[in-house]
Amino acid sequence: MEFSALLTSAGINIAVCVLFLSLYSVLRKQPHNFSVYFGRRLAEEKFQRQDDYFSFERLLPTAGWIVKAYWCTEEEIRQVAGLDSVVFLRLFIFSIRIFSITSLVCIFGVLPVNYHGKEMTHNHIPAESLNVFTIANIIEESRKLWVHCIALYIITISACILLYNEYKYISRKRLAHITGSPPNPGHFTVLVRSIPKSDNELLDDTIRNFFVNYHGSSYLSHQMILRKGHFQRFVNCPGALVFFKTRYAAVVASQVLQSSNPMLWVTDLAPEPRDVYWSNLWIPYRQIWLRKLATLAASVVFMFVFIIPVAFVQSMMQLEQLKKMFPSFRGILNKSFFARVVTGYLPSVVLLLSLYTVPPLMMLFSSIEGSISRSGRKRSACLKILFFTVWNVFFVNVLSGSVLNQLNVFTRPKDMPTMLAELVPKQATFFITYVLTSGWASLCSEILQVYNLVYNFFSKCICCCQQNTEYVYSFPYHTEVPKVLLFNLLGFTFAIMAPLILPFLLVYFCLGYLVYRNQILNVYYPKYEMGGKLWPIMHNTIVFSLVLMQVIALGIFTIKHSPVATGFTILLLVGTVLFNEYCRHRFSRIFEAYSAQDVIELDRDDEQSGRMQEIHQHLQDAYSQTPPGEGSSRSGGQVPIELILEDPAQEASESSQELCDTVQEVSEAHEHIIEEGKAHSV
Amino acid sequence: MEFSALLTSAGINIAVCVLFLSLYSVLRKQPHNFSVYFGRRLAEEKFQRQDDYFSFERLLPTAGWIVKAYWCTEEEIRQVAGLDSVVFLRLFIFSIRIFSITSLVCIFGVLPVNYHGKEMTHNHIPAESLNVFTIANIIEESRKLWVHCIALYIITISACILLYNEYKYISRKRLAHITGSPPNPGHFTVLVRSIPKSDNELLDDTIRNFFVNYHGSSYLSHQMILRKGHFQRFVNCPGALVFFKTRYAAVVASQVLQSSNPMLWVTDLAPEPRDVYWSNLWIPYRQIWLRKLATLAASVVFMFVFIIPVAFVQSMMQLEQLKKMFPSFRGILNKSFFARVVTGYLPSVVLLLSLYTVPPLMMLFSSIEGSISRSGRKRSACLKILFFTVWNVFFVNVLSGSVLNQLNVFTRPKDMPTMLAELVPKQATFFITYVLTSGWASLCSEILQVYNLVYNFFSKCICCCQQNTEYVYSFPYHTEVPKVLLFNLLGFTFAIMAPLILPFLLVYFCLGYLVYRNQILNVYYPKYEMGGKLWPIMHNTIVFSLVLMQVIALGIFTIKHSPVATGFTILLLVGTVLFNEYCRHRFSRIFEAYSAQDVIELDRDDEQSGRMQEIHQHLQDAYSQTPPGEGSSRSGGQVPIELILEDPAQEASESSQELCDTVQEVSEAHEHIIEEGKAHSV
């Protein structure tokens, strides 16, 4: 690919982006689209419905939304969208910072060195092959490689400093969030599973006796988990929620081994009420480990089997292959513009489309796994999708060739650095266009909400039905976090090899920051709070990206016969691993457990202010298994939980039992809401 | 090697064993050897010193000790030597059981199939090559391989059933041990490290304030850890022992995260007083993770570097090489008997001798690692030596050839099964002789206590000094457990390939059972109690051996083109891994933490019986850092801790600081003991 082709591609994408963003700024002003673009605000009824009068201004693209999204403070975002949104946006801030530094170093330091890497007569720059800008242009045993080594050091050290500061900042935010938010019933409640059955005692009594006996001073009450269904109402009672008088007692009960048989009386701190994944509470505890192993195996198998169709489709997309398969299009394909579009675009579009099938499946795997909370399920799905994305987007494309060859690399870990060093630079062009197409386009698609827009258009304007539009969506962290982390990985791995990717990435991160801020403020409604628990995943993935960057650099320095640079890179690698270990020791437990000091202080505050009594009363009905229309909408001001969708595909993966049970209840609730809605509009 | 050569080797070894055991039965009757062979009994002064009269019977070999060792009950052993000895002997019982089954199956099922594996004219059995008895004799695509597959199933399933029962049995023993033993100060005490320094407060006050504030109802008192030395007496107090009123409170304080900074106020349940490794309590907590990583790296490097001298010495021991190097011995070496001895014996003797250097070094690594207890250090050393032994005895010998070739196998994990399948059967002869020499001989050396015997002889009869003989040794689990586990590994991996190894192994385990019972009863004195925590290591290693057996079988079935057997083996492999996962979930936490139920019951018993007051009083002076001669010998009936040696080599690895500090104190104590000894003998 020539430099001019890259510019063409970039030009097309910039035009498309500007077009889509302008379209968005017009569409969002149309009242019948409010439910698509202001879901959260509508749901909270803070957004004033403007009367449906027509003005010319409504058809003009404006940039006001960018200004609004930019000037909103972090504290405001935390209040309306929770800590998780803040953490997600911090990932963008980190990315913008580190890739600004990286761009500076690599564009002004590494790029000229690459360009003048070997003695050759240079063409006019637009006609120059992209390879001239990559590390492939440096001759063997070149002294210029120390520039790359220094760049590697600057990037790694800056990234580590930034990462450490982010971890510290987010830890502090998390602690402030725990201590600052209103009392959470989850902090007082322990989920007990695998309760031994006694012949001469009711299960209810067994639970009461156990906790009165061993936690008598702090036990408050308990609530059996009831499995409801047409045939088995109030039977198979396999666990219970046990309420304690203080947070500290609940933390202690959840962390200390209860019985001398570790498979009995298993305790976990309960999720907050909206976060409980009820249908999974019915799974017998002794199945959980087996389910985890099985889903792990299934995910790994899926990850590897997925290569085959993608590789097939991608090889089909080669120009020569296309010409053979569609002889009638040969004329068009011979024209260089179309050829560029096809080779530059189609492979990544195919990849993008096939990737859409992954999240629902991974969400299904995570449901089967047996997580007790929706947030746990989402985190698990996020991890699975992350592994999947990094493997299937990065590695499979880098190791392109026959499917079997790809797998062989991983059976010879010793040869990996040199093999990656040979293969990665070759794919620089593909990944630069991938950033342009998949990256930029996904942001446009995100802000336009194409699926919902079309759905809304048909349901409102064509079918004239209204009820479905009251749904709001919760933020799909499990698909968005892996996406952003993938671009981080691409940035780091290609930084010193093909620095041309960096400006495009930087644009992606800046635009993404604005787009997601806007979406978080206007569209998504937080269904539950993960308390920033996604950050350790992000941190570890970024450290993995750094290590991968160093491993590939190691391979390159080996290939180019530069032993000194190799030695320095090994040193850097060891340093990075040590940094990660330190961070793990310093921070990770903050994201896993509550500290005695914090919860005792909270308990004392509540006791001294006399709020404890009130909290205890509220506890009893916080975890309601009654029909959601009655139960959860009581907690005034919040959107009823059944109206917040994770995402359409995921809802399909819910276990059928739960669906059967709730269909009737939800439909009743809907009728109620529709009636209210009609009364409102009249 | 021919069958007759194997019989020669076995004959020599049986003769040597009988000789040594007879020698032992005579030597143990000589009064001046009592300190060598009855160290534990002497130390406890239960052994009645017989007057030094001469009788002819003292020179006759007898088998009375075998009868005594055999008839002693498990409960007696637990009482005199602790739960760890019981667990160690259970490993022998397990081994005897499983290898009885394996021998039955393989000698009567697999061996004849191997022998008639291909159509050939068989020699007279003694002249038959040993290869005829191995799986190498089976032709490709042979239908007889299903015998091996069935044998594999029988061995694995029996092993899993026996392992499960052992785990259950030992768990129950451990729980009974915890609830049944006298109150242990360690159960009431929490070691707190990394206490934040405050400018306007003494460290002592900081600790008191923290625990009174957050654990006010259960906090009893605390004791600073003082670093003593010539220059820094009572300074640098980096941690403290905090005493609680109940066991439950201590368990809670040790398991719950204390501060929102996980690197501050780090709590661990304290080891029992005799088990505390004082010099490691002075290590700043923030160094621990770095020390662990560094020692891990050092151990791995040592493990790999160790190959080089061993491979060199072993290649030197080849017959042709020897003839070249020592032309004068050519005449002797040409004689077949000497040739057999040299090729059969010398390599394993060299290996054995070089392995003696390993335990002190690994013990040193484990000391540097920063374990707070002596038992933790020993467990860690045990694990390191185990990895080292399995790698350097099994893998390095199997993958013999150039050192670089050996490493290459591990860089291609996919080819490992077939590679192992090709290489392992070739080494059958070596490992059969290894069992004879290293296995049987190590038992003889163990029971004879050669080192101590010689030392005792010189110090008593030549130098006429007496003081050192009062020392007793604690059982060297860290060297003996890996040894026994290695023989398990050899048994499993060679069971279906070269079943001739099994009878020799069975003899080793039976003899070992008797020898170690005798030694535990008579020689070793338990310095501290690990509470059976070695069992999970043993269990995991045996499962690893099973998996290795299956992986090698997988390779063999692949080489012999038997896809059905390969399929069934993969099924078995998955089953074994699932079994191990289940055991981990079911049992492993029992060996890591105490359950609320157990400790609360214990607390209640003590409170109701009024013993609690007494325990609290005893707590204050249980952890004494005063000179050992005064401090620890108070706890009447027990042997003073400074007179129990881990083993001579290990003592050299103690940190120099501790040695400097204690030399003076110990010498004072010695003088005291010598004076007492003299008074006694007069």
Q: Does B600 have pLDDT greater than 90?
A: yes
Q: Does B468 have pLDDT greater than 70?
A: no
Residue spans of alpha helices (H) in B181-194: 185-188
Whether B380 and B512 share a structural domain: yes
Contacts with A214 from chain B: Cβ below 8 Å: 596-597, 600
Token readout for B427 is 């080494």
Q: What is the band of A409 on the pLDDT scale with cuts at 50, 70, 90?
A: low
Whether B429 and B495 share a structural domain: yes
Whether B169 and B257 share a structural domain: no
B671 to chain A, any CB pair closer than 8 A? The answer is no
Q: Does A272 have pLDDT greater than 60?
A: yes
Q: Which of B257, B414, B593 sits opposite A596 (nearest CB)?
A: B257
B214:A597 CB<8 A:
yes
SS3 label, residue B276: strand
Q: Which of B257, B412, B596 sits opposite A256 (nearest CB)?
A: B596
Asked if residues A342 and A628 have their Cβ atoms less than 8 Å apart, the reply is no
Of the two residues A247 and B413, the one the predictor is more confident about is A247
B259:A585 CB<8 A:
no
B578:A415 CB<8 A:
no
Range of the domain at B456: 3-182+287-326+337-592
A108 to chain B, any CB pair closer than 8 A? The answer is no
B264 min Cα distance to partner chain A (Å): 9
pLDDT at site B465? 63
Contacts with B412 from chain A: Cβ below 8 Å: 411-412
Over residues B51-64, the mean pLDDT reads 70
A594:B257 CB<8 A:
yes
pLDDT at site A410? 58
A571 to chain B, any CB pair closer than 8 A? The answer is no
Chain A window 387-446: which residues touch B at a Cβ cutoff of 8 Å? 408, 411-415
pLDDT at site A472? 78
Contacts for B83-86: CB closer than 8 Å, 24+ residues apart: B83/B173, B83/B174, B83/B177, B83/B529, B83/B530, B83/B531, B83/B532, B84/B475, B84/B477, B84/B526, B84/B529, B84/B530, B84/B531, B84/B532, B84/B534, B85/B475, B85/B520, B85/B526, B86/B173, B86/B532
What's the total number of domains in chain B?
2
B255 min Cα distance to partner chain A (Å): 7
pLDDT at site A316? 62
Residues β-bridged to residue A295 = none
Q: Which of A257, A589, A596 sits opposite B593 (nearest CB)?
A: A257
pLDDT 10s digits, B102-130: 999 999 999 998 888 887 777 777 778 77
Contacts with B261 from chain A: Cβ below 8 Å: 586, 590
B644-645/B472-473 β-pairing: parallel
Q: Which of A175, A257, A265 sits opposite B260 (nearest CB)?
A: A175
pLDDT 10s digits, A651-681: 444 433 344 333 334 444 444 444 444 545 4
Q: Looking at this predicted complex, what is its ipTM?
A: 0.84
Asked if residues B400 and B431 have their Cβ atoms less than 8 Å apart, the reply is no
pLDDT at site B130? 79
Instruction: Decide if B24 is inside a domain.
Output: yes
Whether B143 and B195 share a structural domain: no
Q: Does A277 have pLDDT greater than 60?
A: yes
In chain A, pLDDT over 70 holds for what percent of residues? 80
Q: Which of A544, A564, A592 corresponds to the end of one domain? A: A592
pLDDT 10s digits, A61-93: 777 788 888 888 888 889 888 899 999 999 999
SS3 label, residue B409: helix
Contacts with A588 from chain B: Cβ below 8 Å: 262
B590 to chain A, any CB pair closer than 8 A? The answer is yes
pLDDT at site B129? 79
Whether B239 and B316 share a structural domain: no
Contacts with B588 from chain A: Cβ below 8 Å: 262
pLDDT at site A161? 97
Instruction: Give how far the C-alpha of residue A374 lies from the chain's centroid of Cα atoms, to the nearest Å.
Output: 14
pLDDT at site B265? 92
B579 min Cα distance to partner chain A (Å): 10
pLDDT at site B541? 96
Q: What is the CATH number of the domain that holds A205?
A: 3.30.70.330
Whether A398 and A478 share a structural domain: yes
Phi, psi of A195 (to 5 degrees): -85, 125
Of the two residues B89 and B25, the one the predictor is more confident about is B89
Contacts with B582 from chain A: Cβ below 8 Å: 289
pLDDT at site B635? 42
Over residues B451-480, the mean pLDDT reads 76
Whether B574 and B555 share a structural domain: yes
Instruction: Decide if A122 is inside a domain.
Output: yes
**CA atoms of B332 and B335, how far apart (whole Å):** 6
SS3 label, residue B420: helix
Chain B window 184-223: which residues touch A at a Cβ cutoff of 8 Å? 214
> What is the secondary structure of A420-461 as a DSSP string?
HHHHTGGGHHHHHHHIIIIIIHHHHHHHHTHHHHHHHHIIII
Instruction: Decide if B398 is inside a domain.
Output: yes
Over residues B457-474, the mean pLDDT reads 69
A176 min Cα distance to partner chain B (Å): 11
Q: Which of A592, A616, A639 corresponds to the end of one domain? A: A592
Contacts with A587 from chain B: Cβ below 8 Å: 262
Of the two residues B628 and B541, the one the predictor is more confident about is B541
A680 to chain B, any CB pair closer than 8 A? The answer is no
Q: Does B467 have pLDDT greater than 60?
A: no
pLDDT 10s digits, A616-651: 988 888 887 654 443 343 344 566 666 666 654 444
Q: Does B672 have pLDDT greater than 90?
A: no
Contacts with B585 from chain A: Cβ below 8 Å: 262-263, 289
A590 to chain B, any CB pair closer than 8 A? The answer is yes
**CA atoms of A224 and A240, how far apart (whole Å):** 4
A572 min Cα distance to partner chain B (Å): 16
Contacts with B263 from chain A: Cβ below 8 Å: 585-586
pLDDT at site A658? 42
Of the two residues B592 and B30, the one the predictor is more confident about is B592
Most A-contacting residue of B190, B242, B255, B257 (CB-CB within 10 A), to test interface: B257
B585 to chain A, any CB pair closer than 8 A? The answer is yes
Contacts with A261 from chain B: Cβ below 8 Å: 586, 590
Q: Which residue of B has its CA nearest to A178?
A: B260
Whether A158 and A264 share a structural domain: no
Nearest to A545 by CA among A487, A481, A480, A584: A487
Phi, psi of A344 (to 5 degrees): -75, -40
pLDDT at site B321? 66
Q: What is the band of A39 on the pLDDT scale with cuts at 50, 70, 90?
A: confident
Q: Which of A556, A577, A592 corresponds to the end of one domain? A: A592
Q: Which of A214, A263, A596 sits opposite B600 (nearest CB)?
A: A214
Whether B166 and B191 share a structural domain: no
A265: left (phi over 0), alpha (psi -120 to 50) or beta: left
pLDDT at site B316? 62
A154 min Cα distance to partner chain B (Å): 24
Q: What is the band of B447 on the pLDDT scale with cuts at 50, 70, 90?
A: confident
A255:B258 CB<8 A:
no
pLDDT 10s digits, B567-589: 999 999 999 999 999 999 999 99
B262:A589 CB<8 A:
yes
Whether B36 and B172 share a structural domain: yes
Q: Which residue of A has its CA nearest to B581?
A: A289
pLDDT 10s digits, A510-550: 999 999 999 998 888 888 888 899 999 999 999 999 999 99
Whether A383 and A346 share a structural domain: yes
Over residues A268-283, the mean pLDDT reads 88
Nearest to B622 by CA among B186, B208, B82: B186
A585:B214 CB<8 A:
no
pLDDT at site B337? 72
pLDDT 10s digits, A172-220: 999 999 888 888 899 999 999 988 888 888 888 899 999 999 998 899 9
Number of residue pairs across A and B with CB atoms under 8 Å? 102
In chain B, pLDDT over 70 holds for what percent of residues? 80
Instruction: Decide if A645 is inside a domain.
Output: no
Q: Which residue of A has its CA nearest to B251?
A: A256
Lowest average pLDDT, out of A127-136, A160-169, B597-606, goes to A127-136
Q: Which of B265, B408, B586 sits opposite A263 (nearest CB)?
A: B586
Q: Tokens 């570790």 — which residue?
A: A262
In Å, what is the CA distance from B329 to each residue of B316, B332, B333? 15, 5, 6
Q: Does B160 have pLDDT greater than 90?
A: yes
Instruction: Decide if A197 is inside a domain.
Output: yes
Q: Does A605 have pLDDT greater than 60?
A: yes
pLDDT 10s digits, B332-368: 766 677 776 666 666 667 766 777 888 898 999 999 9
Whether B409 and B485 share a structural domain: yes
Residues 6+ apart with CB under 8 A from A309: A354
**CA atoms of A173 and A590, how far apart (whole Å):** 11
B678 to chain A, any CB pair closer than 8 A? The answer is no
Contacts with B586 from chain A: Cβ below 8 Å: 261-263
HSE, CB side, 13 Å, CA atoms: give it for residue A193: 19
Instruction: Decide if A77 is inside a domain.
Output: yes
B598 min Cα distance to partner chain A (Å): 7
Instruction: Decide if A37 is inside a domain.
Output: yes
A252 to chain B, any CB pair closer than 8 A? The answer is yes
- In eight-state DSSP terms, residue A58 is G
Contacts with B262 from chain A: Cβ below 8 Å: 585-590, 595
SS3 label, residue B383: helix
Contacts with A575 from chain B: Cβ below 8 Å: none
Instruction: Decide if B306 is inside a domain.
Output: yes
Encode A81-145 in three state secondary structure: HHHHHHHHHHHHHHHHHHHHHHHHHHHHHHHHHHHCCCCCCCCCHHHCEHHHHCHHHCCCCCCCH
B293:A581 CB<8 A:
yes
Q: Does B656 have pLDDT greater than 70?
A: no
pLDDT 10s digits, A545-596: 999 999 999 988 988 888 899 999 999 999 999 999 999 999 999 999 899 9
Q: What is the band of B517 on the pLDDT scale with cuts at 50, 70, 90?
A: very high
